[in-house]
Amino acid sequence: MRLEELSLTNFKNIPEARLEFSGKVNCFLGNNGMGKSNMLDAIYFLSFCKSFSRVPDKMLIRRDEDFAIARGRYVRKGIDEELVLGLSSSRRKTLKRGGKEYDRLSSHIGCFPLVMVAPQDIDLIRESGEERRHWMDVVISQSDPIYLDNLIRYTRALEQRNKLLREGVVDANLYAAVEIVMDMSASYIHEVRRARIAALTEIFDRYYKAIAGSSETVTLSYQSGLNREGATMQTLLDEARRHDEIVKHTSVGIHRDDIGMELEGMPMRRIGSQGQCKTFTIALRLAQYDFLHSATGMRPILLLDDIFDKLDASRVERIMELVTSDSFGQIFITDTNRTHLDEIMHRTGGDYRMWSVENGIFTPTES
């Protein structure tokens, strides 16, 4: 799969842009705050119907404007496709595929697979389990629509149960109605998460070793209350019922799952240097790419936002050798250093295009 052309109107700081892309590597160069990452976010939005930064949709509309439009022309499984995303300050967002509007935006997730590597990925190591659950859900949802449906049902039922707890409701029948939904959805979610994390671990370790140029071993472990032998969502809820009534929220369940991240058997968040942590998260994203490629039969679009910072030259070159190989498809890169990127691209070879970016204006440069 590849993105042939992208047109933007009033998206973040980009007033108007129309770019035709290389099928392999596309580079955006410029100082910080000029709009490079906003272009990547627009591409991300067309795949996920939301911003990578998770800001409200209205914040994606250029200041003093009432609407924003992103139009992408793709080749997907050999067929030309067009996506048109519309944002308005007064109406809900819309997404059309081939001129037909989606009834449910969730049904679009996974149709145009994409992986983004960004500076914020350090939060996967440093921050709470919520960041790692979000990453896990994004990975799996792109390849398993049943998982996404179960996740949506579980989340809605969880919100209903928490509302009952906050309001001090004691009717057992009301709790039973939402807990049966949580139990059924949690069972599927747990089994899929466990299998996917196990499958990712081997691929992830291989990429880490390739980028780091060392024999250091990295591991992922799925941590869940449902891992306990004989545990179900219902038994967890029953055990925590009195506690939940006191704290007025649901304290157990798959919404509390986490992923252990270790380097040589030690927690990465405690022992990892900046370079090791960056290598760790990039390897994680490349493993995600491999997983989606196998699951969907398509090579996802790969977005690399400011990935060279805090990495030594040898690791940067190994990353570029990996992602410009035949195992990967179309790539979009942002950087602040033209000379740096030119040197890398000339060493790795292949087709690429470049744009300089200033105040939301994209100007092609000779590659």
Tell me the domain boundaries of the chain: 1-113+298-367, 128-290
Q: Residue 312 to residues 307, 316, 359: CA-CA distances in angstroms?
A: 11, 6, 29
Topology annotation, domain 1-113+298-367: Rossmann fold (3.40.50)
Scan for tokens 């995303």, then name that residue. 85
The answer to whether the beta carbons of residues 134 and 262 sit under 8 Å apart is no
CATH superfamily of 128-290: RecF/RecN/SMC, N-terminal domain (1.20.1050.90)
Q: Kindly list the strands in the beta sheet with 14-20, ordered across the sheet, starting from the edge strand earlier in the chain.
A: 14-20, 2-11, 67-76, 79-88, 94-97, 100-101
- Residue 132 contacts residue 258 (beta carbons within 8 Å): yes
Residue-by-residue pLDDT tens, the chain, 367 positions: 999 999 999 999 999 999 999 999 999 999 989 999 999 999 999 999 999 988 989 999 999 999 999 999 999 999 999 999 999 988 899 999 999 999 889 899 999 999 999 999 999 999 999 999 999 999 999 999 999 999 999 999 999 999 999 999 999 999 999 999 999 999 999 999 999 999 999 899 999 999 998 888 999 999 999 999 999 999 999 999 999 999 999 999 999 999 999 999 999 999 988 889 999 999 999 999 999 999 899 999 999 998 887 788 888 888 888 988 888 999 999 988 777 677 777 766 667 899 999 999 999 997 6
